[in-house]
């Protein structure tokens, strides 16, 4: 169970990414590292801490950022970066109706 403040950080990104982000937050709590901000930017995960992270945690954050770039932020299915309008990493299902996706299907 993570603390309420960190739960708030977790909820700043879509549910599809929670399984990737939750272990990072748990590791931060285990290492007594403060999480400053968790957000989606340009379709990718950004995970900011106070910087007192172990090498192991740094690697975990890097891997999660790479993994999120290939994971639908809505549902966790394999996704790709969608570029029409605002950038977002989504699976085909959740990209439907977006301009870039519809054009790709023409």
The nearest distance, CB 101 to Zn ion, in angstroms, is 12
x/- site string to Zn ion, residues 42 to 81, per CB under 5 A? ------------------------------x-xx-x----
Q: Which is nearer to Zn ion, 29 or 76 (CB)?
A: 76
Distance of CA 51 to the CA centre of its chain: 19
- State which residue has the least CB distance to Zn ion: 72
Q: Which is nearer to Zn ion, 40 or 74 (CB)?
A: 74
The nearest distance, CB 36 to Zn ion, in angstroms, is 28
DSSP of the chain: ---HHHHHHHTTS-GGGHHHHHHHHHHHHHTTPPEEEEEEETTEEEEEE-S---HHHHHHHHHHHHHHTTB-TTT-SB-EEE-SSS-EEE-HHHHTTSHHHHHHH-
The nearest distance, CB 79 to Zn ion, in angstroms, is 6
Binding residues for Zn ion, rule: CB under 5 A, are 72, 74-75, 77, 91, 94
């Amino acid at each position: 169970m993570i603390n309420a403040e960190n739960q708030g950080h977790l909820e700043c990104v879509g549910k599809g990414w929670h399984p990737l982000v939750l272990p990072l937050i748990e590791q931060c709590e285990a290492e007594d590292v403060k999480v400053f901000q968790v957000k989606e930017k340009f379709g990718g995960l950004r995970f900011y801490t106070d910087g007192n992270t172990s090498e192991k945690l740094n690697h975990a954050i890097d891997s999660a950022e790479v993994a999120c770039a290939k994971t639908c932020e809505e549902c966790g299915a394999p996704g790709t970066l969608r570029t029409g309008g605002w950038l977002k990493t989504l699976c085909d299902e959740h990209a439907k109706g977006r301009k870039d996706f519809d054009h790709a299907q023409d």
